[in-house]
Amino acid sequence: MTRRLIDGFDGVLADLDGVVYTGSRAIDGATDALDRLEGEGKSLAYVTNNASRSCEEVATHLRELGAPATAGQVFGSALAGAELLAGEVAAGAAVLVVGSQILADAVRAQGLVVVPTSDSRPDAVIQGFSPALGWKDLAEAAFAITAGATWVATNMDMTLPQERGFAPGNGSLVAAVASATGKSPLVAGKPEPALFETAARHSGVERALVVGDRLDTDILGGNRAGMATVLVLTGVDSVQTALAARLDERPNYLIRSLGELYEEYPEITANDGAYSCGAAVARVSGSTVSISGREDDLNSWRAACAAWWAAHPDMASDAAPEIVFATAG
C-alpha cells in the first residue's frame, strides 16, 4: 500500500543550495513545496554549515527567493558548534573564538566566556569561518590547542564557492591548525550529526526527514543522526552516484523534486533476488545490475538501488556497477 512520502514524518530538515536554490535563483517548485508544509501540519527547518552569516540574514535571503523562512527556522553550524562545545566544558569556561562575531555571540549565549588570545589560557577553542581570519588567529588557536584546550570546529567544508572560483573554506583552515598541532577537532556541522540533532531539538521534531542533494554531507549526516534521509535530484548527486554510494551515504528515498514529497512513494518488494518498484524490476548478477524498465523512470533506479545495496550491504567505498536496461527507454 502506498502513501505520500511526507505522511511518515512530522518535520523536514532541508539543506539550502541544491535543494531550495541554485546560485541566485530558486529551484522550480521548491518554494511552493516548502510553503505547503505548514498547511500539512509539518515543521520546517533549514540546516546549513555556514557559520559566518546570521540566522536572520539566511532567512532574509530565503524570503527574497519566495521561500517561507524565519530566523528561528534556520540552524547553522555556529549554534550547533556552540552547543556541542557547551557539552564538553564546564559552565563559564573560557573559550578562544577563531571565527566570526556571530560565532562569538553563539558561544556567549551558552554561558561561556570569550577570551581574546591563548595567553588567557582558554579551556577551549572553537573555530569557524570568517574572511577576516589571518595567520595570527590560526597561531593563537594552535598555541591554545597544544596547551590542552578542547577544540571544536563548526564545519569541515574544504572549499567556499565564490564568483571567481573556489576559495579555501573552514575545513582548509582547520587542516592548517591540525597540521601544526597534530590534533583533530570535534565537528558540529555536516556530515556530523550534531547540526541535525540541534535543528530537530529546537524545532520539536520527533520524526524528521532530512532532505539534501549531497550524499557526502546531507545524507551521510542525516544517517549518522539516525534520521530518515531523502536525496532530491536537483543538485550535486544523481541516481547514478546514489546507486554507487557507500553504505553510510545511502538515502532512504529518492525524489526528483521537493514537490514529490506530496506524492505517493511506491513500495519496493523483493522476491527471489528480484526487486520491484512500480513496473520496474532490477536484479544483480556479479557486478551488473539488470533493469527491466525505462531509464527515465525513477522507479527503475529505486529498484536498482534496492537490488545493488542488498547485494552489497557492507560496502565501505564507492563502487559503480554496470547497468543494463532490458527495456529501451
314 class by beta-carbon count within 10 Å (0-12 exposed, 13-18 middle, 19+ buried): exposed
Determine whether 35 is an active site residue.
Answer: no
- State residue 290 phi and psi, 5-degree precision: -100, 130
**Apex 91 CA angle, 86 and 96, nearest 5:** 65
Does the CA dihedral 227-25-28-160 come out positive or negative? negative
- The CA distance from 84 to 186, in Å, is 8
- The CA distance from 37 to 325, in Å, is 37
Task: Name the active-site residue from 7, 10, 15, 35.
Answer: 15
Residue owning grid cell 582547520: 174
Are the C-beta atoms of residues 30 and 67 closer than 8 Å to each other?
Answer: yes
Residue owning grid cell 569556561: 93
Determine whether 137 is an active site residue.
Answer: no
Cell of 8: 511518515
Task: Name the active-site residue from 10, 17, 105, 297.
Answer: 17
**Which residues are the active-site residues?**
15, 17
